[in-house]
Amino acid sequence: MTSPAAETNNAPAIEVDDVAFEWSPEAKVLQGCSLAVYPGEFCMLLGDNGSGKSTLLKLLTGLLTPQTGEIYIGGSSGYVFQNPDHQLVMPTVGADVAFGLVNERLSLAAVRSRVSEALAAVNLAHLVRRPIYALSGGQKQRVAIAGAIARHCDVLLLDEPTALLDPDSQIELVTLVKMLVQSRNLTALWVTHRLVELDYCDRAFLLRDGRVIDQGDPQRMRTVLEE
Ligand SMILES: Nc1ncnc2c1ncn2[C@@H]1O[C@H](COP(=O)(O)OP(=O)(O)OP(=O)(O)O)[C@@H](O)[C@H]1O
Ligand SMILES: [Mg+2]
């Protein structure tokens, strides 16, 4: 089953076409790996530890280059890490979201307006002056997402963003991303091991032996993986 977005004739917002990537000849990670995520879709990527999910996201951000094959992202992308402490660099919430805008040649007023709009989108407007160290894990992940929204990213790439969160914060975060994708017409690729999250996405991909071996309806994927 495909989601409505995939049934249109839109070009993909994220496309991986027959990609091979190896760290070294002894450490081949991806081989013949292909997937497409369409504009407005919220897709999840599953696979065992070491199957290459994080490597694939790094290829999508351009941090790595494939040895063969093509990578395409339509628009600008924002990357959310598993551990927000590796991502948030400024002392306060507002300063961190503003930091991502330093290269955009915006006026101070425009920066302020982007920051407040992005924090409102992730329900953190009241914490703009809060020190980062005084946030919960889920709040930190929402600050990271606000950074991408402030930069007007079209595509969100999230690598196990709930791995360090308790179940309540986990569901809060996945619900928020689903809502943001819908309300802002974003496209998101979310890596996870936690099958309950599949309930929130449009389509899922399973990475194994270096390539996508299964894709489609998240509920079917959940049943297959729970067996
Ligand atoms: N910088 C690196 N140098 C060499 N090998 C690496 C490097 N980073 C990852 N690898 C190897 O590439 C393979 C894929 O790693 P990757 O982190 O992409 O897996 P993953 O699917 O994200 O796993 P996990 O579920 O544990 O996060 C693994 O065998 C890993 O050891
Ligand atoms: Mg990983």
Q: What is the mean pLDDT of each run of 10 residues along the chain (227 residues)?
A: 56 97 95 98 97 96 95 95 89 96 94 98 98 96 97 97 95 98 97 97 98 97 92
Record the pTM.
Answer: 0.94
Minimal-distance CA residue to ligand 1 atom 17: 54
Residue 112 falls inside a structural domain: yes
147 and 105 together in one domain: yes
Q: What is the number of the ligand 1 atom nearest to the C-alpha of 56?
A: 18
Write down the pLDDT at residue 227.
85
Among the candidates 153, 179, 194, a domain finishes at 153
Write down the pLDDT at residue 4.
52
Could you list the residue range(s) of the whole structural domain that residue 217 is in? Answer: 1-75+154-227
Residue 80 falls inside a structural domain: no
Count structural domains, the chain.
2
20 and 124 together in one domain: no
Residue 61 falls inside a structural domain: yes
Tokens of 82: 């598993």
Instruction: Establish how many alpha carbons lie within 13 A of residue 175's alpha carbon, considering only the half-sphere containing its beta carbon.
Output: 8
143 and 175 together in one domain: no
Q: Which residue has the tokens 């199957």?
A: 51
The CATH number for 202's domain is 3.40.50.300
Write down the pLDDT at residue 1.
44
Residue 212 falls inside a structural domain: yes
Q: Write the DSSP string, 163-196.
A: TTS-HHHHHHHHHHHHHHHHHHT-EEEEE-S-GG
100 and 148 together in one domain: yes
Tokens of 168: 């309540």
Residue 17 falls inside a structural domain: yes
Mutate to test the pocket of ligand 1, among 22, 26, 29 (most ligand atoms within 8 A of CB): 29
CA 74 to CA 149: how far, in whole Å?
16
To 5 degrees, how large is the angle CA 172–CA 175–CA 180? 120
What's the gap in Å between 20 CA and the centre of ligand 1?
14
114 and 56 together in one domain: no
